[in-house]
Structure 1
Amino acid sequence: MPKLNNSEAPLPFPILMGDIGGTNARFSVLVDAYAEPKQFPNLHAADFKTIDDAIKQGVLDKTSVRPRSAVLAIAGPINGDEIPLTNSHWVVRPKTMISDLGFEDVLIINDFEAQALAVATLSGDAREAIGPELETVVASRAVLGPGTGLGVAGLVHAQHAWIPIPGEGGHIDLGPRSERDLQIWPHLEAIEGRISAEQILCGRGLQNLYHALCKVDGVQPTLKEPADITTHGLAGTDKLAEETVSLFVTYLGRLAGDVALLFMARGGVYLSGGISQKIIPALKKPEFRAAFEDKAPHSAMMRAIPTYVVTHPLAALEGLSSYARMPQNFGVATEGRRWRR
């Protein structure tokens, strides 16, 4: 095996791992490759002025273990020494973390890279099958996460390694197909004249879709939050909320099928995030798989691709743990994203 250069060398233990979203930050510490990660309570970004303050007060002040390195999954593009987070006031400054928090090594990756790393090794008790129970093969996979936004990533299996492929797949176009879609589309909130998948397939997208249905049917909207829409939709206590959830899973199935074709994800498509977990009963109805498989001329191939909801409560941290333990099993690009003392 060729000798690793500095940018490819394994992170030194103990390793601090962080899943940093727009609202919450979740941390754990891995003492060595054989230990179970030590979990820390979830932190709210709004409670801390900086991410460094959150790490110090929420982790370092609560353990005698001194992490030598950190690998953080963040929601936002990684470019330069100052990395602002999407939907948060925090700015990640790896050089400051090294000088002020005592780290020797800091690696920053995309949040959906961490989700992709997780689905490489998720076992049956950390996922729930949607549709037929199909064999999971060692092959490329994909992950979609409707939440605050819509994350999409691929996981390619090549050269005996899992290679996460981050991107901005949530911003691809989504178009109408049915007569009902054609009624709805003119009333959806667009961005510069187009409807991206994220305009429908996320929390605010649920609201966008619900309000569009209300306009089409001439009904005054009464539900204000995404959780209200999903709760009433799943319970069948509001007709338009029920249709909103049904259309949501249909459109999610269409997009999931497109992403499966893009990555040739014979190893499966995984739905992550809180929305996916909450709407499992709706996903298990026929609409999701029907839309997923409706990809002529490749419908037969699509029927052989499994789909899952990720039910692991800390999937991103699990993905980071897998990478930290055995980085040689993953093709994670570190150039421009790793800082060393």
Structure 2
Amino acid sequence: MTLLLAGDIGGTKTILRLVNAADAEGSLQTLYEAIYPSRNYPDLVPIVQQFLKAATERIPSVSPPLTQEMKGGVLVPQKACFAIAGPVVNNTSTLTNLTWSLDAKRLEQQLGIKSIILINDFAAVGYGVLGLAESDLYTLQTGKHQPEAPIAVIGAGTGLGQGFLLRTAAIYQVFPSEGGHADFAPRSELEFGLLKYLLDKHNIQRISVERVVSGQGIVAIYQFLRDRQIGTEMPEIGQTVRTWEQEAGRSEKTVDPAAVIAKAALEKSDRLSEQTLQLFVEAYGAEAGNLAIKLLPYGGLYVAGGIAAKILPLIKEGSFLHSFTHKGRVSPLLERVPVHIVLNPQVGLIGAAICASRL
């Protein structure tokens, strides 16, 4: 039995989970979980200390008892993994949207935890797909699963995360990627128009796929269709987008136009929003197919991130999968790739626990 601490550390909130690795089969039992507003704390250490004190008081009795994990009357895990919304270098990280500077060695000393590792939040998603139940997934394409083959992970949210897993010996190893910063590859006259619009708008010489396939990409596509008068704007949605445009440069915004546009598209209440999501879903599927071409992930391609599950009805309509497999002479290869949409929003936290268990 080993007591583990998993964390999902973001600029807005920090989620912590205390886990009991109860047996040699890799079974992970959640004992206690809590959410904290990150900006209310100067560092991660006081959050973890508060969490462990609360966990000691509130977790149910477990077997075997956890008395051997107590220090000074408080439960202290043996291992911890924190998934960070930001770059991780040499087990250190400076969070993008917080003033925190985290160092695993410092955290080990101040928290009394024997082993701590910091990983990027999308690397945690990579570990997390290994721990998902069937109910956590919607299978978009069954394909022909191969147990020893690579696994690919892609996820649009604030940005566009990509990664992959390779089988080594008895386990999968997780590898991060910066594939979201590859060039956006337009495939139609409309997408070429979008590319030129973004180049001119930002006065830059290249457009990454993340500028199109992400939350910011949904807004960018909407602006392009609006400004090129390809669709007619509804006043309510237009006002939300203009407020967002006026707040450019602020670290915190008062509106979320991507969510508003997606909601209108799902409800089919605004034609411009529907057109926006149609183009977004097609670009998303095409980029997922690009990743699959490079890896041939017959172990499965998992679509995670904060957007896919929320717009699942639009993804299921078919344009995502059509763009995914529409790759000319190699299209039959992609028709064999199992494609799954991740429905569980805590996949990163699951992954952090799995990563901690391997320390």
TM-score, with normalisation over the residues of structure 2?
0.81
1:223, distance to aligned residue in structure 2 (A): 4.2
Quote the residue 1:159 is aligned against.
169
Contact 1:142–1:265 (CA under 8 A) maintained in structure 2: yes
Quote the residue 1:338 is aligned against.
none
Pairwise mapping of residues 5-24 of structure 1 onto structure 2 (< 5 A)? 13-24=2-13
Deviates more, 1:247-256 or 1:133-142: 133-142
Quote the residue 1:277 is aligned against.
309
Contact 1:142–1:155 (CA under 8 A) maintained in structure 2: yes
Partner Cα distance (1:140, 1:90) in 2? 35
SS at match of 2:350: helix
1:238, distance to aligned residue in structure 2 (A): 1.0
SS at match of 1:14: strand
Pair member with larger Rg: 2
Pairwise mapping of residues 325-336 of structure 1 onto structure 2 (< 5 A)? 325=357, 327=358
Contact 2:124–2:349 (CA under 8 A) maintained in structure 1: yes
1:61, distance to aligned residue in structure 2 (A): 2.5
Deviations 1:225-254 (A, max 9, x none): 111010001111111110111111100101
Deviations 1:234-291 (A, max 9, x none): 1111111101111111001011001111222112211112211101001101110110
Quote the residue 2:37 is aligned against.
44
Quote the residue 2:221 is aligned against.
209
**Unmatched 5+ stretches in structure 1:** 1-11, 328-333, 335-341
Counterpart code for 2:12:
T
Is residue 30 from structure 1 mapped to residue 22 from structure 2 by the alignment? no
Quote the residue 2:76 is aligned against.
66
1:210, distance to aligned residue in structure 2 (A): 0.8
Quote the residue 1:296 is aligned against.
328
SS at match of 1:136: coil
1:190, distance to aligned residue in structure 2 (A): 4.4
1:87, distance to aligned residue in structure 2 (A): 3.0
Contact 1:18–1:73 (CA under 8 A) maintained in structure 2: yes
Distance 1:109 1:257, change over 3 A: same
Q: 1:247 aligns with which of 272, 279, 282?
A: 279
Deviates more, 1:270-279 or 1:186-195: 186-195
Partner Cα distance (2:262, 2:169) in 1? 42
Pairwise mapping of residues 53-132 of structure 1 onto structure 2 (< 5 A)? 53-57=46-50, 59-64=51-56, 65-80=75-90, 82-130=92-140, 132=141
SS at match of 1:275: coil
**Unmatched 5+ stretches in structure 2:** 57-74, 242-256
1:301, distance to aligned residue in structure 2 (A): 0.9
SS at match of 1:277: coil
Partner Cα distance (2:203, 2:146) in 1? 38
Counterpart code for 1:310:
V
Partner Cα distance (1:126, 1:313) in 2? 9
Q: What is the number of residues matched between the two proteins?
A: 314
Partner Cα distance (2:11, 2:155) in 1? 14
1:307, distance to aligned residue in structure 2 (A): 1.1
SS at match of 2:327: coil
Is residue 261 from structure 1 mapped to residue 261 from structure 2 by the alignment? no
Quote the residue 1:310 is aligned against.
342
